[in-house]
């Protein structure tokens, strides 16, 4: 019976990791380049553990259920995780502004010669040292010097000085606190 609990716990942790990764506001590391590798390595290890523990479960239907769920998560996690290593997108912080107890950071998202190039605005709150609660506020298809400000009513304004066109591009959105605490 302990094997089914261990396998079920590993699958439950996989579900929590997937829910956190796919949610619009989730826990992320302060070093963005660590997010995807840690997530996919943890997901791969947990799903492999569920698969291996499933082989020791007595009733056939429970063994098949645990092994198939573990294999499914592993089969879906590993290819996606490999693509994050191969097609890497670097996030370079270029500007930030405080909004209450949160901060909004503008990142240049650079994916190499053929990859994506845009500016991402992400709202962050420090939870523990090195761990953030974060959510993407918006994007701009332009890259350049970024100036951020917060107007009354918590309206975020970003001005991006794009070098290719010469005229600055504006980004505006309303920013609410990530959490009320």
Per-residue pLDDT tens over the stretch 5-43: 888 888 889 889 888 888 888 999 988 878 888 888 888
Q: Rounded to the nearest 10 degrees, what angle do helices 60-86 and 2-22 cross at?
A: 30
Closest listed residue to residue 134, CA positions, set 86, 93, 169: 93
Provide Rg for the chain, Cα atoms: 21
Per-residue pLDDT tens over the stretch 143-181: 888 889 888 888 888 888 876 666 788 888 888 888 765
Which pTM was predicted? 0.80
H-helix or E-strand spanning residue 60: helix 60-86
> Does pLDDT of 76 surpass 90?
no
Q: Which residue has the higher pLDDT, 68 or 162?
A: 68
Rounded CA-CA distance 35/117 in Å is 19
Look-up of token digits 């963005």: 32
Closest listed residue to residue 136, CA positions, set 171, 180, 168, 165: 171
Looking at the chain, the whole-number percentage of residues with pLDDT higher than 90 is 12
Give the pLDDT of residue 97.
92
Give the pLDDT of residue 132.
92
> Does pLDDT of 58 surpass 70?
yes
Give the pLDDT of residue 2.
59
> Does pLDDT of 121 surpass 90?
yes
Q: Which residue has the higher pLDDT, 110 or 138?
A: 138
Q: Rounded to the nearest 10 degrees, what angle do helices 35-54 and 60-86 cross at?
A: 160
Closest listed residue to residue 104, CA positions, set 173, 39, 47, 51: 173
Query: How many Cβ atoms from other residues are within 10 Å of residue 167's Cβ?
Result: 7
């Amino acid at each position: 019976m302990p094997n089914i609990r261990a396998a079920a716990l590993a699958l439950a942790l996989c579900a929590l990791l997937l829910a956190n990764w796919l949610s619009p506001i989730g826990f992320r590391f302060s070093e963005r380049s660590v997010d995807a590798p840690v997530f996919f390595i943890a997901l791969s290890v947990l799903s492999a553990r569920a698969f291996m523990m499933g082989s020791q479960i007595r009733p056939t239907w429970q063994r098949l259920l645990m092994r198939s769920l573990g294999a499914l998560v592993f089969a879906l996690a590993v290819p996606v995780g490999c693509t994050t290593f191969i097609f890497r997108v670097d996030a370079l912080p270029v500007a930030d502004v405080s909004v209450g107890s949160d901060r909004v950071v503008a990142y240049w998202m650079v994916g190499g010669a053929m990859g994506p190039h845009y500016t991402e605005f992400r709202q962050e709150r420090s939870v523990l040292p090195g761990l953030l609660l974060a959510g993407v506020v918006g994007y701009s298809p332009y890259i350049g010097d970024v100036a951020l400000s917060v107007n009354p009513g918590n309206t975020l304004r970003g001005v991006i000085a794009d070098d290719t066109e010469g005229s600055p591009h504006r980004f505006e959105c309303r920013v609410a606190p990530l959490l009320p605490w």
